[in-house]
Homo-oligomer: A and B are copies of this chain.
Amino acid sequence: MSNLKFFFEPKTVAIIGASERLKFGYGTTKYLLESPFKTYPVSLTKNQIMGHKAYKSIKEIPEEIELAIILVKNDNVLQAVKECVEKGVKGIIIETAGFAETSIPKYVSLQEQIASLAKSSGVRIIGPNCVGITNFKNKFTTTELDVNKLVKGNISIIAQSGVLGNIFIDWATSQKIGFSKAITLGNKIDVDEIDMIEYLEEDPDTSVITIYLEGVKRGNTFKFVLKNMKKPLIILKNGRSELGAKAIKSHTASLAGNDRIFEALFRQFKGIFRVNNFYEMFEIAQVFATQPLPKGKNIAIITGSGSLGILACDLIEKEGLGLAKLESKSMEELRAISPNWVSVKNPVDLGPSQFSTLNPALNILFHDKKVDGVLFIFSVPELPLKQWSLSVTPFLRRMKHLSRETEKPIIICVFGSRWVFEYLLEKAVKFSIPLLNRIDHAIKAFRFMHEFYLHKKE
């Protein structure tokens, strides 16, 4: 297993193709030059970049360079890589696109020459056709992200494609889902998902690994890695259809492979979870990252909306989980605290008065021996929420306390306006309670977490 630390914590960085112009790479150049990371711009045309002396070649930099970021256009990449090798860098991130994915022989061959150079020299290369990496802990990034907005957490993401990793981190950041490392691999001429999974398995800041995959080159090693995973691995793999598989070829020059083989592989090993889209991937990852594993498969639902409780029932049955049959003691206690018209069966529908009885109801449900996890579906419309000037913090604190005390997971689903979502999100994140927009993701998260619990127990 190779040490890839220099990609995430480089002592020195060179940006080859640093630019003052507002084009791809501008944001990265600006951020790194202004950051505490020791960064040198390399430019063929400029003597100065944003007030920093620019070098004509990486070889002219009067210091050892650990990591080079290459942004020059595709025709000039090979020369830049050669100079990096001569300089003795440890790692290179080639962000430039326009190689094997074009299917144009000249650029396919250019990629092969770069790959040979990596092999013969021992330099480690990420890319080409990617946006490199982001380390949320030390704020080192080769990607155009607003670093001040980033939310730190324990989820890491490996994505093949550049822009995709980027926009979904934007999304996750809006949802206050916290990350540890984000890695985009592009055409994978050297460093691939296997290297990165191995690195993240050992990374103390990562507790859940997520990966967006278009194809795998080292099939047997990949299988070996999947078999021996210690952390939960959540996989999104596209190219399920023939149309999709064809499109992959011209995207990152990967072979999608037969999707049935992948599907079988993912099912064969425990702790590997396939999802259908990025929203599902990150929301489920966040549950893994913040909640205890459910020891059984029986869920209690508590809500102010009977309809959404019913939807949750449909999904619980679909996912093969159980709707917790409450102990009769719990039912009696619920009846004692509820208005006459409230259903005290599971799903517990507290109706519009949900907040007057929520805390005692939570107490009853978390302490019920038949309950392995709690789903709270928040359903207060925006206007009453504003008019009541309701403070949700005491409820969230209670949930967190009960969850910790009973070692049972809690997930909140919220529906309604963006304002309501953000109002709740701001508070929920302080208690590390995952706030999801979709019940299907919540129920799937319970299932995956329970499967992971059984796997760990084996």
- Seen from chain A, the residues whose Cβ lies within 8 Å of a Cβ on chain B are 22, 24, 26-27, 74, 97-99, 101-102, 104, 107, 144-146, 159-161, 163-164, 166-168, 170-171, 173-174, 212, 214, 238-244, 246-248, 250-252, 277-279, 304-311, 313-314, 316-318, 323, 339-343, 345, 347, 349, 351-353, 379-384, 387-388, 415-420, 438, 440
Whether A244 lies near B310 (C-beta < 8 A) is yes
Out of B317, B419, B440, which one reaches A241, CB within 8 Å?
B317
Q: How far is the CA of A212 from the CA of B317 in the complex (A)?
A: 20
Q: How far is the CA of A388 from the CA of B438 in the complex (A)?
A: 33
Most central of A24, A160, A243 by chain B CB within 10 Å: A243
List the B side residues contacting A418 at CB < 8 Å: 171, 174, 418
How many identical chains are in the complex? 2
Min CB distance A305 to B, Å, is 5
Min CB distance A175 to B, Å, is 8
Out of B161, B168, B352, which one reaches A416, CB within 8 Å?
B168
Min CB distance A313 to B, Å, is 4
**Which B residue's beta carbon lies closest to that of A143?**
B381
Whether A170 lies near B416 (C-beta < 8 A) is yes
List the B side residues contacting A309 at CB < 8 Å: 247, 251
List the B side residues contacting A104 at CB < 8 Å: 340-341
| Given A97-B341, A310-B239, A311-B244; A383-B163 close (CB under 8 Å) | no
Whether B382 lies near A170 (C-beta < 8 A) is yes
Q: How far is the CA of A323 from the CA of B380 in the complex (A)?
A: 42
Most central of A166, A173, A248 by chain B CB within 10 Å: A166
List the B side residues contacting A166 at CB < 8 Å: 381, 416
| Given A167-B305, A170-B417, A212-B307; A145-B241 close (CB under 8 Å) | no
| Given A163-B304, A170-B420; A238-B382 close (CB under 8 Å) | no
Q: How far is the CA of A145 from the CA of B381 in the complex (A)?
A: 8
**Which B residue's beta carbon lies closest to that of A339?**
B98
| Given A311-B238, A417-B173; A144-B247 close (CB under 8 Å) | no
Out of B146, B247, B316, B381, which one reaches A383, CB within 8 Å?
B146
List the B side residues contacting A379 at CB < 8 Å: 163-164, 167
| Given A164-B305, A310-B238, A381-B163; A343-B98 close (CB under 8 Å) | no
List the B side residues contacting A438 at CB < 8 Å: 277, 279
Min CB distance A176 to B, Å, is 11
Q: How far is the CA of A380 from the CA of B340 in the complex (A)?
A: 53
Whether A247 lies near B340 (C-beta < 8 A) is no
Min CB distance A321 to B, Å, is 10
Whether B349 lies near A384 (C-beta < 8 A) is no
Out of B170, B240, B388, which one reaches A381, CB within 8 Å?
B170
Most central of A145, A212, A240 by chain B CB within 10 Å: A240
